[in-house]
Amino acid sequence: MTICISAIGINNTEEVIVFATDHMISLSNTGPQFEHAIAKFKKIDGNTFVMFSGTTLLFEEILAKCDFKDKDFFQIAAEIHKSMAELRFEKIQREILLPANINLEGFNELLRQKVENDFVFQILDKSTKATLNSICLLVGFSEDKKAQMCEITEFTMTQLRDLNFGAIGSGSPQAINALLFQKHSKKDSLPVTLYNVFKAKRNSEVSVGVGKETDLIILDHKGLKNVGESVCCKLEEMYQGEFKLGKEHSNLKTIEQLVNGVEYEV
């Protein structure tokens, strides 16, 4: 229950990535949620960062299993995917097989047999449906200096560069809809990209579990810039201005006159 958003833009002639997260965390999939100073993103190397949605304590576990040394962006994504797949299997062993007194060899034997009773069916069904209920959003640059984004679970790796943006967490439908509405493109300038990501984050706050606090980050080939309060305040003015404009637009009087001129149908 959170929001993590990223979008590609351009600053002068170089591609940049703007990303935003809230501060809402949960210690389990069903436990309480609260806003905390803990950052929802972690540094992999100089200009590669990963954001996380899911059980907060699982984030460190996923990264601890990874070997990022001398890896490029796509290899880093593969490492995270591999780690998540391994953790899922460990969860199956711990939460499903162990309580049923079945070891790995016995589980493999079950997979080779025809399902003949409800107990075996339940074991296999639970194992198939088991998930970490977590997702990572990796952002960075490939060796050709192109901005890259990848959405990673234990099952899939989805490259998002062609989409221009991505979002994970409970607020992701609202965030993605906002970026689609803005028709965001990787050719948009840095100021436009900043506003689009900020608007997507603000729109996502209507979703349950999305926190009000915001980290807004600019990532380029030199590293990371954490956008300060003064920039966010100006973006908030622009955001509120959209609502105000809809109620105070100069064309509203013209629309009123046109509506008054519409005759009732017989």
d(CA 1, CA 211): 9
Domain ranges of the chain: 4-73+133-227
Q: Report which DSSP code applies to 146.
A: -
Mean pLDDT of 163-181: 96
Task: Judge whether residue 26 has pLDDT over 80.
Answer: no
More confident residue, 26 or 191: 191
CB 38 within 8 A of CB 169: no
Q: At what angle do helices 118-129 and 104-112 cross, to 10 degrees?
A: 110
- What is the tens place of the pLDDT at every residue in 87-119? 999 999 999 988 888 887 887 887 777 777 788
Name the band, by pLDDT with cuts 50, 70 and 90, for residue 40: confident
Short-list 184, 140, 172, 165, CA closest to 48: 140
Domain 4-73+133-227 has CATH 3.60.20.10: yes
Q: Report which DSSP code applies to 128.
A: H
Q: Which run of H or E residues covers position 63?
A: helix 56-64
What pTM value is reported for the model?
Answer: 0.89
Name the 3-class secondary structure at 72. Answer: coil
Name the 3-class secondary structure at 174. Answer: helix
